[in-house]
């Protein structure tokens, strides 16, 4: 009877730390036998001890010893890992068997811009941009689609900064006229 009280007064942290220290290498060995991968074996044992730590209240002394319980958890985690690995291999095999695209693959779906609100604004802006002279369209693209500063545009194109600013001003004047009908769409 005195032994039971002594066992109950032992700190669970100490018991688990001792169990890990003394039985951890054997559990890694078991997991390694099942998985044939040292890294995964260590991960499985870590998962098992995490489960033991979190669910120590579920341990039932009447059913079996603590080590048997930890062994069972470790074994189950290793089996779960094996099953996951086999599923991944089967998926990869199916992917290869079906080809890179797989059955029923019809290529990328083109967006139906007409089904989206504001599609005509998008279309009008691109039409207006295409109507610009090449040098003006280039500076607008660099400034607003690539996010370059005026100085960076000048450096990239090898033109003076003033020329970049002039081309942008001329492009905006043309876009303002070409897109005047869209004024109600802008905020």
User: pLDDT tens, 9-26?
Assistant: 557 677 778 877 888 888
Q: How confident is the model at residue 162 (pLDDT cuts 50, 70, 90)?
A: very high
Q: How confident is the model at residue 168 (pLDDT cuts 50, 70, 90)?
A: very high
* Percentage, residues of the chain above pLDDT 70: 75
Q: How far apart, in Å, do the first and last CA atoms of the chain sit?
A: 83
Write out the CATH class of domain 113-185: mainly alpha
Q: pTM of this prediction?
A: 0.44
**CA dist., res. 175 & res. 49, Å (int):** 67
Among positive and negative, which fits the CA dihedral 57, 60, 64, 69?
negative
Fold of 7-98: Rna Polymerase Sigma Factor; Chain: A (1.10.1740)
pLDDT tens column, 23-42: 888 888 888 888 888 888 89
Q: Which helix (H) or strand (E) covers residue 16, if one does?
A: helix 12-35
As a residue count, the chain comes to: 187
Coil/strand/helix, residue 50: helix
Only one residue has tokens 């109950």, namely 8
The structural domains of the chain, with segments of one domain joined by +, span 7-98, 113-185
């Amino acid at each position: 009877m005195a032994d039971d009280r002594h066992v109950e007064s032992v700190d669970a942290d100490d018991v688990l730390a001792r169990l890990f220290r003394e039985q951890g290498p054997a559990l890694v060995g078991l997991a390694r036998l099942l998985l044939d991968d040292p890294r995964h074996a260590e991960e499985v044992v870590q998962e098992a001890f995490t489960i033991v730590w979190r669910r120590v209240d579920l341990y039932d002394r009447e059913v079996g010893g603590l080590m048997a319980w930890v062994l069972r958890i470790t074994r189950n985690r290793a089996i779960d890992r094996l099953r996951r690995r086999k599923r991944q291999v089967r998926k990869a095999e199916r992917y290869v068997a079906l080809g890179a695209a797989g059955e029923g693959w019809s290529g990328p779906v083109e967006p139906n811009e007409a089904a989206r609100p504001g599609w005509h604004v998008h279309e009008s802006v691109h039409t207006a941009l295409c109507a610009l002279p090449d040098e003006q369209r280039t500076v607008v693209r660099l400034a607003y689609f690539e996010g370059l500063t005026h100085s960076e545009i000048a450096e990239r194109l090898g033109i003076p900064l003033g020329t970049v600013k002039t081309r942008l001003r001329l492009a905006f004047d043309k876009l303002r006229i070409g897109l005047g009908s869209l004024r109600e769409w802008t905020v």
